[in-house]
Structure 1
Amino acid sequence: MLRKNFCAALFVIALVSCGGGKNSGSSASVSSTQTPSSSIASSTALASSSAVSSNSNNDYGCGIAAQFSTGLQTITVDNSSRSYWIEMPPNYDRNTTYPVIIGLHWRDGSAADIYGWSGFFGLKNKYNGNAIFLAPQGLNAGWANNGDRDIRFMRAMITEVQQGVCTDTKRVFATGFSFGGMMSNAIGCQMGDLVRAIAPMAGSLWSGCADSPHNVATLFIHAKDDNVVSYSAGEEARNVFLARNGCSATTKLVGNNGCVEYEGCASDKPVVWCGTETGGHWYPDFSAQETKDFFDRFNE
Protein backbone atom coordinates (compact mmCIF):
# COMPACT_ATOMS: atom_id res chain seq x y z
CA MET A 1 0.00 0.00 0.00
CA LEU A 2 1.21 3.48 -0.84
CA ARG A 3 2.51 5.36 2.15
CA LYS A 4 2.67 9.13 1.92
CA ASN A 5 6.12 10.67 2.08
CA PHE A 6 6.08 12.16 5.52
CA CYS A 7 8.87 11.25 7.93
CA ALA A 8 8.89 11.03 11.69
CA ALA A 9 11.13 14.06 12.15
CA LEU A 10 9.00 16.32 9.99
CA PHE A 11 5.87 15.12 11.72
CA VAL A 12 7.20 15.81 15.20
CA ILE A 13 8.59 19.23 14.23
CA ALA A 14 5.28 20.19 12.69
CA LEU A 15 3.44 19.27 15.87
CA VAL A 16 5.58 21.30 18.22
CA SER A 17 3.43 24.35 17.58
CA CYS A 18 0.13 22.46 17.83
CA GLY A 19 -2.25 23.84 20.41
CA GLY A 20 -6.00 23.67 20.52
CA GLY A 21 -8.47 21.77 22.58
CA LYS A 22 -9.00 24.70 24.93
CA ASN A 23 -12.55 25.77 25.59
CA SER A 24 -13.30 28.80 23.47
CA GLY A 25 -16.18 31.07 24.23
CA SER A 26 -16.33 32.58 20.77
CA SER A 27 -18.88 31.43 18.25
CA ALA A 28 -18.06 30.78 14.63
CA SER A 29 -19.08 33.13 11.87
CA VAL A 30 -20.28 30.80 9.16
CA SER A 31 -21.27 31.17 5.54
CA SER A 32 -21.04 28.66 2.74
CA THR A 33 -20.67 28.32 -0.99
CA GLN A 34 -21.11 25.11 -2.93
CA THR A 35 -18.62 24.71 -5.73
CA PRO A 36 -19.35 22.72 -8.89
CA SER A 37 -19.23 19.00 -8.31
CA SER A 38 -16.61 16.82 -9.93
CA SER A 39 -16.65 13.07 -10.38
CA ILE A 40 -14.08 10.54 -9.28
CA ALA A 41 -13.47 7.02 -10.48
CA SER A 42 -16.03 4.52 -9.30
CA SER A 43 -14.99 1.99 -6.70
CA THR A 44 -14.31 -1.65 -7.40
CA ALA A 45 -16.65 -4.38 -6.24
CA LEU A 46 -18.50 -3.21 -3.13
CA ALA A 47 -19.02 -5.21 0.01
CA SER A 48 -22.28 -5.81 1.81
CA SER A 49 -24.42 -2.77 2.57
CA SER A 50 -25.19 -1.40 6.01
CA ALA A 51 -28.70 -0.97 7.33
CA VAL A 52 -30.20 2.47 6.67
CA SER A 53 -32.98 3.71 8.89
CA SER A 54 -36.25 5.26 7.77
CA ASN A 55 -37.00 8.98 7.97
CA SER A 56 -37.68 10.59 11.36
CA ASN A 57 -38.76 14.02 12.56
CA ASN A 58 -35.27 14.75 13.89
CA ASP A 59 -33.68 14.61 10.45
CA TYR A 60 -34.41 18.04 9.05
CA GLY A 61 -32.65 17.62 5.68
CA CYS A 62 -35.06 14.85 4.68
CA GLY A 63 -37.96 15.00 2.28
CA ILE A 64 -36.47 17.85 0.24
CA ALA A 65 -34.34 17.98 -2.88
CA ALA A 66 -30.69 17.37 -2.02
CA GLN A 67 -28.73 20.59 -1.65
CA PHE A 68 -25.45 18.79 -2.36
CA SER A 69 -24.00 16.53 -4.99
CA THR A 70 -20.68 14.73 -4.82
CA GLY A 71 -17.87 17.27 -4.99
CA LEU A 72 -15.88 19.96 -3.24
CA GLN A 73 -17.67 22.40 -0.92
CA THR A 74 -16.48 25.60 0.72
CA ILE A 75 -17.65 27.18 3.94
CA THR A 76 -16.49 30.27 5.80
CA VAL A 77 -15.80 29.74 9.49
CA ASP A 78 -14.20 32.40 11.71
CA ASN A 79 -13.71 34.56 8.60
CA SER A 80 -11.60 31.83 7.02
CA SER A 81 -12.51 29.81 3.95
CA ARG A 82 -12.55 26.10 4.71
CA SER A 83 -13.29 23.23 2.35
CA TYR A 84 -14.52 19.67 2.45
CA TRP A 85 -15.43 16.95 -0.02
CA ILE A 86 -18.87 15.35 0.20
CA GLU A 87 -19.42 11.90 -1.28
CA MET A 88 -23.14 11.31 -1.84
CA PRO A 89 -24.75 7.87 -2.30
CA PRO A 90 -25.09 7.14 -6.04
CA ASN A 91 -28.77 6.28 -5.56
CA TYR A 92 -29.57 8.95 -2.96
CA ASP A 93 -33.12 8.85 -1.61
CA ARG A 94 -34.43 12.04 -0.02
CA ASN A 95 -36.51 10.00 2.45
CA THR A 96 -33.75 7.67 3.63
CA THR A 97 -31.67 8.70 6.63
CA TYR A 98 -28.00 8.00 5.91
CA PRO A 99 -25.18 7.74 8.43
CA VAL A 100 -22.46 10.38 8.04
CA ILE A 101 -18.81 9.29 8.16
CA ILE A 102 -16.08 11.93 8.48
CA GLY A 103 -12.60 10.92 7.27
CA LEU A 104 -9.68 13.01 8.54
CA HIS A 105 -6.33 13.12 6.74
CA TRP A 106 -2.84 12.89 8.18
CA ARG A 107 -0.09 15.54 8.42
CA ASP A 108 0.76 16.82 4.91
CA GLY A 109 -2.13 14.79 3.53
CA SER A 110 -5.31 16.17 2.02
CA ALA A 111 -9.02 15.63 1.64
CA ALA A 112 -8.25 14.38 -1.88
CA ASP A 113 -6.17 11.56 -0.37
CA ILE A 114 -9.14 10.51 1.74
CA TYR A 115 -11.83 10.48 -0.94
CA GLY A 116 -9.41 9.40 -3.67
CA TRP A 117 -6.91 6.57 -3.36
CA SER A 118 -7.73 5.64 0.26
CA GLY A 119 -11.50 5.47 -0.27
CA PHE A 120 -12.10 6.88 3.21
CA PHE A 121 -9.66 4.37 4.70
CA GLY A 122 -11.49 1.57 2.87
CA LEU A 123 -14.87 2.40 4.41
CA LYS A 124 -16.50 3.60 1.20
CA ASN A 125 -16.51 0.09 -0.23
CA LYS A 126 -17.81 -1.36 3.02
CA TYR A 127 -20.91 0.86 3.03
CA ASN A 128 -21.96 -0.02 -0.52
CA GLY A 129 -23.50 3.38 -1.26
CA ASN A 130 -25.45 3.55 2.00
CA ALA A 131 -23.63 6.40 3.72
CA ILE A 132 -22.69 10.03 3.19
CA PHE A 133 -18.94 10.62 3.46
CA LEU A 134 -17.18 13.88 4.33
CA ALA A 135 -13.46 14.62 3.87
CA PRO A 136 -12.55 17.99 5.40
CA GLN A 137 -9.29 19.77 4.54
CA GLY A 138 -7.05 20.82 7.43
CA LEU A 139 -5.35 24.21 7.56
CA ASN A 140 -1.67 23.94 6.63
CA ALA A 141 -2.38 20.30 5.80
CA GLY A 142 -2.91 19.45 9.46
CA TRP A 143 -5.19 19.63 12.47
CA ALA A 144 -3.48 21.85 15.03
CA ASN A 145 -6.93 22.98 16.20
CA ASN A 146 -5.54 26.21 17.65
CA GLY A 147 -8.22 27.90 19.76
CA ASP A 148 -10.70 25.19 18.75
CA ARG A 149 -10.80 26.51 15.18
CA ASP A 150 -11.06 23.01 13.72
CA ILE A 151 -13.77 22.00 16.17
CA ARG A 152 -15.84 24.97 15.00
CA PHE A 153 -15.19 23.96 11.40
CA MET A 154 -16.43 20.43 12.12
CA ARG A 155 -19.57 21.73 13.79
CA ALA A 156 -20.32 24.09 10.91
CA MET A 157 -19.70 21.38 8.30
CA ILE A 158 -21.90 18.80 10.02
CA THR A 159 -24.73 21.29 10.51
CA GLU A 160 -24.58 22.45 6.90
CA VAL A 161 -24.72 18.89 5.58
CA GLN A 162 -27.55 17.87 7.90
CA GLN A 163 -29.61 20.82 6.69
CA GLY A 164 -28.99 20.02 3.03
CA VAL A 165 -29.41 16.24 2.74
CA CYS A 166 -31.20 13.45 4.57
CA THR A 167 -29.02 12.11 7.36
CA ASP A 168 -29.45 10.18 10.56
CA THR A 169 -28.45 12.76 13.16
CA LYS A 170 -27.85 9.96 15.67
CA ARG A 171 -25.27 8.25 13.44
CA VAL A 172 -22.50 10.74 12.79
CA PHE A 173 -19.05 9.13 13.02
CA ALA A 174 -15.45 10.32 12.69
CA THR A 175 -12.29 8.43 11.88
CA GLY A 176 -8.78 9.44 10.91
CA PHE A 177 -5.15 8.42 10.80
CA SER A 178 -2.17 10.09 12.51
CA PHE A 179 -2.98 13.82 12.73
CA GLY A 180 -6.47 12.79 11.59
CA GLY A 181 -6.59 10.35 14.50
CA MET A 182 -5.64 13.18 16.83
CA MET A 183 -8.45 15.33 15.45
CA SER A 184 -10.81 12.38 15.81
CA ASN A 185 -9.91 12.31 19.50
CA ALA A 186 -10.52 16.06 19.80
CA ILE A 187 -13.94 15.57 18.23
CA GLY A 188 -14.67 12.73 20.63
CA CYS A 189 -13.60 14.80 23.61
CA GLN A 190 -15.76 17.79 22.73
CA MET A 191 -18.47 16.94 20.20
CA GLY A 192 -20.47 14.10 21.70
CA ASP A 193 -23.59 16.19 21.25
CA LEU A 194 -23.23 15.78 17.46
CA VAL A 195 -20.98 12.73 16.98
CA ARG A 196 -21.93 9.23 18.13
CA ALA A 197 -18.61 7.39 17.86
CA ILE A 198 -15.01 7.83 16.75
CA ALA A 199 -12.30 5.51 15.44
CA PRO A 200 -8.86 7.17 15.72
CA MET A 201 -5.93 5.30 14.17
CA ALA A 202 -2.37 6.00 15.37
CA GLY A 203 -3.67 9.07 17.17
CA SER A 204 -2.99 10.97 20.38
CA LEU A 205 -4.31 13.99 22.27
CA TRP A 206 -2.09 16.47 20.41
CA SER A 207 -5.05 18.21 18.75
CA GLY A 208 -6.49 18.92 22.17
CA CYS A 209 -9.11 17.31 24.39
CA ALA A 210 -11.46 19.87 25.91
CA ASP A 211 -13.92 18.94 28.64
CA SER A 212 -17.50 18.17 27.67
CA PRO A 213 -20.52 16.59 29.37
CA HIS A 214 -21.16 14.57 26.19
CA ASN A 215 -19.30 11.27 25.76
CA VAL A 216 -18.79 9.10 22.68
CA ALA A 217 -18.12 5.47 21.90
CA THR A 218 -14.53 4.88 20.82
CA LEU A 219 -12.48 2.38 18.83
CA PHE A 220 -8.71 2.85 18.93
CA ILE A 221 -6.19 1.27 16.54
CA HIS A 222 -2.46 1.61 17.28
CA ALA A 223 0.70 -0.37 16.58
CA LYS A 224 3.24 -1.03 19.32
CA ASP A 225 6.14 -0.30 16.96
CA ASP A 226 4.79 3.08 15.82
CA ASN A 227 7.88 5.34 15.85
CA VAL A 228 6.02 8.57 14.96
CA VAL A 229 3.10 8.61 17.40
CA SER A 230 4.13 6.38 20.26
CA TYR A 231 1.99 3.54 21.54
CA SER A 232 1.97 5.20 24.95
CA ALA A 233 0.50 8.37 23.39
CA GLY A 234 -2.33 6.26 22.02
CA GLU A 235 -2.81 4.62 25.39
CA GLU A 236 -2.99 8.05 27.02
CA ALA A 237 -5.87 9.00 24.72
CA ARG A 238 -7.59 5.68 25.38
CA ASN A 239 -7.33 6.17 29.13
CA VAL A 240 -9.09 9.53 28.92
CA PHE A 241 -12.09 7.91 27.26
CA LEU A 242 -12.03 4.96 29.64
CA ALA A 243 -12.33 7.38 32.55
CA ARG A 244 -15.00 9.49 30.89
CA ASN A 245 -17.11 6.47 30.00
CA GLY A 246 -16.77 4.86 33.42
CA CYS A 247 -15.03 1.70 32.16
CA SER A 248 -13.22 -0.88 34.27
CA ALA A 249 -9.78 -2.34 33.60
CA THR A 250 -11.25 -5.73 32.68
CA THR A 251 -11.37 -6.59 28.98
CA LYS A 252 -12.88 -9.17 26.65
CA LEU A 253 -11.92 -10.10 23.10
CA VAL A 254 -14.08 -8.69 20.30
CA GLY A 255 -13.91 -9.10 16.54
CA ASN A 256 -11.35 -11.20 14.74
CA ASN A 257 -8.17 -9.12 15.03
CA GLY A 258 -7.15 -9.24 18.67
CA CYS A 259 -9.17 -6.18 19.71
CA VAL A 260 -10.43 -5.95 23.27
CA GLU A 261 -13.44 -4.19 24.72
CA TYR A 262 -13.37 -2.75 28.21
CA GLU A 263 -16.12 -3.88 30.53
CA GLY A 264 -18.23 -1.71 32.80
CA CYS A 265 -18.51 1.21 30.38
CA ALA A 266 -21.75 3.11 30.08
CA SER A 267 -23.98 0.77 28.09
CA ASP A 268 -24.10 2.96 25.00
CA LYS A 269 -20.50 4.24 25.20
CA PRO A 270 -18.18 1.25 24.69
CA VAL A 271 -14.40 1.59 24.38
CA VAL A 272 -12.49 -0.85 22.16
CA TRP A 273 -8.69 -1.05 21.86
CA CYS A 274 -6.96 -2.70 18.89
CA GLY A 275 -3.28 -2.77 19.76
CA THR A 276 -1.21 -4.51 17.10
CA GLU A 277 2.28 -5.92 17.62
CA THR A 278 3.62 -4.58 14.34
CA GLY A 279 2.57 -2.22 11.57
CA GLY A 280 4.54 0.92 12.31
CA HIS A 281 2.95 4.27 11.66
CA TRP A 282 0.13 3.13 9.43
CA TYR A 283 -3.33 1.64 9.72
CA PRO A 284 -3.77 -2.14 9.35
CA ASP A 285 -5.70 -3.86 6.59
CA PHE A 286 -8.41 -4.89 9.03
CA SER A 287 -9.15 -1.32 10.13
CA ALA A 288 -12.04 -0.73 7.70
CA GLN A 289 -13.95 -3.84 8.72
CA GLU A 290 -13.39 -3.35 12.45
CA THR A 291 -14.43 0.31 12.14
CA LYS A 292 -17.59 -0.45 10.20
CA ASP A 293 -18.55 -3.26 12.57
CA PHE A 294 -18.10 -0.84 15.46
CA PHE A 295 -20.12 1.95 13.86
CA ASP A 296 -22.86 -0.53 12.93
CA ARG A 297 -23.44 -1.17 16.63
CA PHE A 298 -25.18 2.19 16.76
CA ASN A 299 -27.87 1.61 14.12
CA GLU A 300 -30.61 3.17 16.19
Structure 2
Amino acid sequence: MYGRKNPVVALALLVLVSLIGFVSAERSAGCGKNPTIQSKQYTINVNNKQRQYFVKLPDRYNKDYAHRLIFTWHQLGGSAQKIVNGEDPNRGGVIPYYGLNAIANNTAIFVVPNGLNNGWGNQGGEDVTFFDQLVKVIEADLCVETSLRFSTGFSYGGAMSYAVACARPKMVRAIAVISGSLLSGCSGGNDPVAYYGQHGTSDSVLNVSGGRQLRDRFVRNNGCTAVSPEPQPNGQNSVKTVYKNCKEGYPVTWVIHRGDHNPSQTDAGSSTPFAPKNTWEFFTQFAPQ
Protein backbone atom coordinates (compact mmCIF):
# COMPACT_ATOMS: atom_id res chain seq x y z
CA MET A 1 0.00 0.00 0.00
CA TYR A 2 2.72 2.45 0.98
CA GLY A 3 4.87 1.63 -2.06
CA ARG A 4 2.22 2.60 -4.61
CA LYS A 5 1.72 6.22 -5.67
CA ASN A 6 -1.82 7.53 -5.71
CA PRO A 7 -2.40 8.91 -9.22
CA VAL A 8 -4.96 11.43 -7.94
CA VAL A 9 -2.48 12.82 -5.44
CA ALA A 10 0.25 12.94 -8.07
CA LEU A 11 -2.03 14.87 -10.43
CA ALA A 12 -2.97 17.29 -7.67
CA LEU A 13 0.69 17.96 -6.92
CA LEU A 14 1.40 18.57 -10.60
CA VAL A 15 -1.42 21.10 -10.79
CA LEU A 16 -0.17 22.80 -7.63
CA VAL A 17 3.32 23.14 -9.09
CA SER A 18 1.92 24.69 -12.26
CA LEU A 19 -0.03 27.22 -10.22
CA ILE A 20 2.67 28.42 -7.86
CA GLY A 21 5.63 28.23 -10.23
CA PHE A 22 9.01 26.78 -9.46
CA VAL A 23 9.13 24.66 -6.33
CA SER A 24 12.54 24.33 -4.78
CA ALA A 25 14.57 25.09 -1.70
CA GLU A 26 16.08 28.03 -3.58
CA ARG A 27 13.18 30.47 -3.37
CA SER A 28 14.19 33.96 -2.27
CA ALA A 29 13.18 35.65 0.98
CA GLY A 30 10.86 37.91 -1.00
CA CYS A 31 8.52 35.08 -1.96
CA GLY A 32 5.08 35.56 -0.45
CA LYS A 33 5.68 39.22 0.40
CA ASN A 34 3.74 42.15 -0.97
CA PRO A 35 6.52 43.84 -2.96
CA THR A 36 7.71 47.38 -2.45
CA ILE A 37 9.88 47.28 -5.58
CA GLN A 38 8.06 48.29 -8.75
CA SER A 39 8.93 48.64 -12.42
CA LYS A 40 10.97 51.83 -12.30
CA GLN A 41 14.40 53.35 -11.72
CA TYR A 42 16.18 53.12 -8.37
CA THR A 43 19.39 54.39 -6.80
CA ILE A 44 21.63 52.44 -4.44
CA ASN A 45 24.84 53.38 -2.64
CA VAL A 46 27.70 51.04 -3.53
CA ASN A 47 31.17 51.78 -2.16
CA ASN A 48 30.10 55.39 -1.50
CA LYS A 49 28.97 55.87 -5.09
CA GLN A 50 25.37 56.42 -6.15
CA ARG A 51 24.47 53.74 -8.67
CA GLN A 52 21.30 53.66 -10.74
CA TYR A 53 19.36 50.69 -12.03
CA PHE A 54 15.96 49.81 -13.45
CA VAL A 55 13.73 46.93 -12.45
CA LYS A 56 11.11 45.43 -14.79
CA LEU A 57 8.51 43.21 -13.17
CA PRO A 58 6.23 40.94 -15.17
CA ASP A 59 2.95 42.60 -16.10
CA ARG A 60 1.20 40.06 -13.89
CA TYR A 61 3.73 39.74 -11.08
CA ASN A 62 2.87 36.87 -8.72
CA LYS A 63 4.41 37.15 -5.26
CA ASP A 64 4.22 33.36 -4.85
CA TYR A 65 5.87 32.47 -8.16
CA ALA A 66 9.64 32.09 -8.12
CA HIS A 67 10.78 34.03 -11.19
CA ARG A 68 13.96 33.89 -13.19
CA LEU A 69 16.20 36.89 -12.49
CA ILE A 70 17.90 38.30 -15.57
CA PHE A 71 20.55 41.03 -15.57
CA THR A 72 20.91 43.02 -18.80
CA TRP A 73 24.06 45.15 -19.10
CA HIS A 74 24.39 47.97 -21.65
CA GLN A 75 27.20 48.62 -24.12
CA LEU A 76 29.87 51.35 -23.91
CA GLY A 77 28.19 54.71 -24.40
CA GLY A 78 24.82 53.15 -23.70
CA SER A 79 22.70 53.37 -20.60
CA ALA A 80 20.16 51.44 -18.60
CA GLN A 81 17.49 53.74 -20.03
CA LYS A 82 18.43 52.70 -23.57
CA ILE A 83 18.12 49.03 -22.63
CA VAL A 84 14.67 49.72 -21.19
CA ASN A 85 13.45 51.81 -24.13
CA GLY A 86 15.40 50.13 -26.91
CA GLU A 87 16.97 51.67 -29.99
CA ASP A 88 16.57 51.23 -33.73
CA PRO A 89 17.82 47.67 -34.43
CA ASN A 90 18.26 48.59 -38.10
CA ARG A 91 21.04 50.93 -36.98
CA GLY A 92 22.73 48.44 -34.71
CA GLY A 93 20.67 49.33 -31.66
CA VAL A 94 19.44 47.05 -28.93
CA ILE A 95 15.89 45.78 -28.64
CA PRO A 96 14.31 46.54 -25.21
CA TYR A 97 15.75 44.14 -22.65
CA TYR A 98 17.68 42.50 -25.51
CA GLY A 99 14.36 41.16 -26.77
CA LEU A 100 13.91 38.83 -23.79
CA ASN A 101 11.05 40.52 -21.98
CA ALA A 102 8.82 40.16 -25.03
CA ILE A 103 9.15 36.37 -24.95
CA ALA A 104 9.48 35.76 -21.20
CA ASN A 105 5.72 35.33 -20.72
CA ASN A 106 5.72 36.79 -17.19
CA THR A 107 8.33 34.31 -15.92
CA ALA A 108 11.24 36.71 -15.40
CA ILE A 109 12.26 39.79 -13.47
CA PHE A 110 14.73 42.04 -15.29
CA VAL A 111 17.40 44.16 -13.64
CA VAL A 112 19.08 46.80 -15.79
CA PRO A 113 22.16 48.36 -14.13
CA ASN A 114 23.64 51.67 -15.26
CA GLY A 115 27.40 51.85 -15.73
CA LEU A 116 29.82 54.44 -14.42
CA ASN A 117 30.96 56.67 -17.31
CA ASN A 118 28.54 54.69 -19.50
CA GLY A 119 30.63 51.54 -19.24
CA TRP A 120 31.79 48.67 -17.06
CA GLY A 121 35.41 49.33 -16.15
CA ASN A 122 34.85 47.29 -12.98
CA GLN A 123 37.75 48.98 -11.22
CA GLY A 124 38.66 47.00 -8.12
CA GLY A 125 35.65 44.79 -8.79
CA GLU A 126 33.22 47.64 -8.07
CA ASP A 127 30.74 46.59 -10.75
CA VAL A 128 30.71 43.01 -9.48
CA THR A 129 30.00 44.46 -6.02
CA PHE A 130 27.16 46.42 -7.63
CA PHE A 131 25.81 43.11 -8.93
CA ASP A 132 26.11 41.56 -5.45
CA GLN A 133 24.14 44.39 -3.86
CA LEU A 134 21.43 44.28 -6.51
CA VAL A 135 20.90 40.55 -6.01
CA LYS A 136 20.59 41.13 -2.26
CA VAL A 137 18.09 43.99 -2.58
CA ILE A 138 15.95 42.37 -5.27
CA GLU A 139 15.70 38.96 -3.64
CA ALA A 140 14.83 40.40 -0.23
CA ASP A 141 11.72 41.98 -1.73
CA LEU A 142 10.73 39.95 -4.79
CA CYS A 143 10.08 36.27 -5.43
CA VAL A 144 13.06 34.81 -7.28
CA GLU A 145 14.24 31.28 -8.01
CA THR A 146 17.78 31.85 -6.79
CA SER A 147 19.19 28.94 -8.78
CA LEU A 148 17.97 30.63 -11.96
CA ARG A 149 19.88 33.90 -12.14
CA PHE A 150 21.15 34.91 -15.58
CA SER A 151 23.22 37.67 -17.14
CA THR A 152 23.50 38.99 -20.67
CA GLY A 153 24.80 42.01 -22.51
CA PHE A 154 26.19 43.36 -25.75
CA SER A 155 29.79 44.54 -26.23
CA TYR A 156 30.88 46.07 -22.88
CA GLY A 157 27.71 44.55 -21.43
CA GLY A 158 28.83 41.15 -22.64
CA ALA A 159 32.21 41.75 -21.03
CA MET A 160 30.46 42.56 -17.76
CA SER A 161 28.42 39.36 -17.92
CA TYR A 162 31.68 37.50 -18.44
CA ALA A 163 33.21 39.25 -15.41
CA VAL A 164 30.23 38.18 -13.30
CA ALA A 165 30.61 34.57 -14.46
CA CYS A 166 34.30 34.63 -13.57
CA ALA A 167 33.89 36.23 -10.16
CA ARG A 168 30.50 34.83 -9.09
CA PRO A 169 30.13 31.42 -10.75
CA LYS A 170 27.86 30.14 -7.97
CA MET A 171 25.52 33.12 -8.34
CA VAL A 172 24.66 32.81 -12.03
CA ARG A 173 23.23 29.79 -13.78
CA ALA A 174 24.18 30.93 -17.27
CA ILE A 175 25.34 33.95 -19.22
CA ALA A 176 24.95 35.14 -22.80
CA VAL A 177 27.76 37.25 -24.24
CA ILE A 178 26.89 39.15 -27.41
CA SER A 179 29.97 40.46 -29.25
CA GLY A 180 32.04 40.71 -26.08
CA SER A 181 35.72 40.83 -25.22
CA LEU A 182 37.92 40.92 -22.12
CA LEU A 183 37.10 44.48 -21.00
CA SER A 184 35.75 44.14 -17.45
CA GLY A 185 38.29 41.67 -16.12
CA CYS A 186 37.99 38.09 -14.95
CA SER A 187 38.64 37.66 -11.25
CA GLY A 188 38.74 33.93 -10.61
CA GLY A 189 37.48 32.41 -13.80
CA ASN A 190 38.22 28.79 -12.93
CA ASP A 191 34.73 27.43 -12.33
CA PRO A 192 32.11 26.22 -14.79
CA VAL A 193 29.20 28.41 -15.86
CA ALA A 194 26.80 27.63 -18.69
CA TYR A 195 27.90 29.84 -21.58
CA TYR A 196 26.26 31.22 -24.73
CA GLY A 197 28.46 33.35 -26.97
CA GLN A 198 27.71 35.16 -30.22
CA HIS A 199 30.04 37.18 -32.47
CA GLY A 200 30.45 38.42 -36.03
CA THR A 201 33.49 37.69 -38.18
CA SER A 202 33.28 41.24 -39.59
CA ASP A 203 33.16 42.93 -36.18
CA SER A 204 35.03 46.22 -36.64
CA VAL A 205 34.87 47.23 -32.96
CA LEU A 206 35.76 44.09 -31.00
CA ASN A 207 37.48 41.50 -33.14
CA VAL A 208 35.97 38.04 -33.16
CA SER A 209 39.20 36.68 -31.67
CA GLY A 210 38.26 38.35 -28.39
CA GLY A 211 34.89 36.65 -28.36
CA ARG A 212 36.54 33.31 -29.03
CA GLN A 213 38.93 33.91 -26.14
CA LEU A 214 36.02 34.38 -23.74
CA ARG A 215 34.26 31.32 -25.09
CA ASP A 216 37.33 29.11 -24.84
CA ARG A 217 37.74 29.76 -21.12
CA PHE A 218 34.35 28.22 -20.47
CA VAL A 219 34.87 25.47 -23.01
CA ARG A 220 37.77 24.45 -20.74
CA ASN A 221 36.07 25.19 -17.42
CA ASN A 222 32.98 23.26 -18.48
CA GLY A 223 34.99 20.27 -19.64
CA CYS A 224 33.75 20.47 -23.22
CA THR A 225 35.57 19.08 -26.24
CA ALA A 226 37.11 21.84 -28.35
CA VAL A 227 35.89 22.17 -31.94
CA SER A 228 38.29 22.12 -34.89
CA PRO A 229 38.31 23.72 -37.37
CA GLU A 230 36.88 26.96 -35.99
CA PRO A 231 33.16 27.27 -36.89
CA GLN A 232 32.42 29.73 -39.70
CA PRO A 233 29.22 31.40 -40.94
CA ASN A 234 27.21 29.76 -43.69
CA GLY A 235 27.18 32.58 -46.22
CA GLN A 236 24.94 35.29 -44.78
CA ASN A 237 23.46 32.93 -42.21
CA SER A 238 24.65 32.31 -38.68
CA VAL A 239 25.93 28.92 -37.58
CA LYS A 240 25.22 27.56 -34.11
CA THR A 241 27.66 25.12 -32.52
CA VAL A 242 26.70 23.19 -29.40
CA TYR A 243 29.83 21.83 -27.77
CA LYS A 244 29.98 18.16 -26.83
CA ASN A 245 31.02 16.28 -23.70
CA CYS A 246 30.50 19.25 -21.38
CA LYS A 247 29.98 18.65 -17.67
CA GLU A 248 26.34 17.92 -16.94
CA GLY A 249 24.48 21.18 -16.50
CA TYR A 250 27.23 23.33 -18.03
CA PRO A 251 26.67 23.53 -21.79
CA VAL A 252 28.45 25.88 -24.16
CA THR A 253 26.79 27.22 -27.30
CA TRP A 254 28.56 29.42 -29.86
CA VAL A 255 26.90 31.34 -32.68
CA ILE A 256 29.07 32.80 -35.41
CA HIS A 257 27.77 35.17 -38.10
CA ARG A 258 29.21 37.32 -40.86
CA GLY A 259 27.97 40.63 -39.44
CA ASP A 260 29.60 43.61 -37.79
CA HIS A 261 29.32 44.80 -34.16
CA ASN A 262 25.57 44.38 -33.93
CA PRO A 263 23.35 43.06 -31.11
CA SER A 264 20.41 42.73 -33.49
CA GLN A 265 22.00 40.67 -36.27
CA THR A 266 19.63 38.75 -38.54
CA ASP A 267 20.00 35.86 -40.92
CA ALA A 268 19.53 36.26 -44.67
CA GLY A 269 15.91 36.89 -45.62
CA SER A 270 14.84 37.54 -42.03
CA SER A 271 14.04 40.78 -40.22
CA THR A 272 14.05 39.12 -36.80
CA PRO A 273 17.27 39.23 -34.76
CA PHE A 274 18.31 35.74 -33.70
CA ALA A 275 19.98 36.63 -30.38
CA PRO A 276 16.77 36.92 -28.31
CA LYS A 277 15.42 33.50 -29.28
CA ASN A 278 18.81 31.83 -28.96
CA THR A 279 19.45 33.42 -25.57
CA TRP A 280 16.00 32.63 -24.20
CA GLU A 281 16.19 29.01 -25.32
CA PHE A 282 19.63 28.71 -23.73
CA PHE A 283 18.47 30.19 -20.42
CA THR A 284 15.21 28.28 -20.20
CA GLN A 285 16.77 24.85 -20.63
CA PHE A 286 17.65 24.98 -16.92
CA ALA A 287 15.35 23.80 -14.16
CA PRO A 288 15.52 24.86 -10.51
CA GLN A 289 18.24 23.12 -8.52
* TM-score category, normalised to shorter length: 0.7 to 0.9
* 1:135 alignment counterpart: 112
Shift of residue 56 of structure 1?
3.9
* 1:259 alignment counterpart: 240
Alignment of 1:1-300 (within 5 A): 53-59=21-27, 60-117=29-86, 118-212=95-189, 214-250=191-227, 257-277=238-258, 279-283=259-263, 284=265, 285-300=273-288
Alignment partners' CA distance in 2, 1:129 and 1:162 = 17
Contact 2:154 2:180 (8 Å CA) reproduced: yes
Q: What SS does the corresponding residue of 1:82 show, helix, strand or coil?
A: strand
Alignment partners' CA distance in 2, 1:233 and 1:103 = 20
Shift of residue 90 of structure 1?
1.4
TM-score (norm 1): 0.78
Alignment partners' CA distance in 2, 1:242 and 1:52 = 36
Alignment partners' CA distance in 1, 2:22 and 2:155 = 35
* 2:7 alignment counterpart: none
1:165-191: CA deviation from partner (whole Å, max 9, x where unpaired): 001101110000011011111111111
* 1:42 alignment counterpart: none
RMSD of the alignment, in Å? 2.0
Contact 2:21 2:64 (8 Å CA) reproduced: no
Shift of residue 52 of structure 1?
8.1
Contact 1:192 1:216 (8 Å CA) reproduced: yes
TM-score (norm 2): 0.81
Structure 1: 4+ residue segments shifted above 2 A: 51-58, 212-215
From the CA coordinates, give the structure whose radius of gyration is larger.
2
Shift of residue 58 of structure 1?
2.8
Alignment partners' CA distance in 2, 1:167 and 1:90 = 16
Shift of residue 81 of structure 1?
0.9
AA matched with 1:199: A
Contact 1:77 1:152 (8 Å CA) reproduced: yes
Gaps of 5+ in 2: 1-18, 87-94, 232-236, 266-272
Gaps of 5+ in 1: 1-50
Contact 1:53 1:168 (8 Å CA) reproduced: no
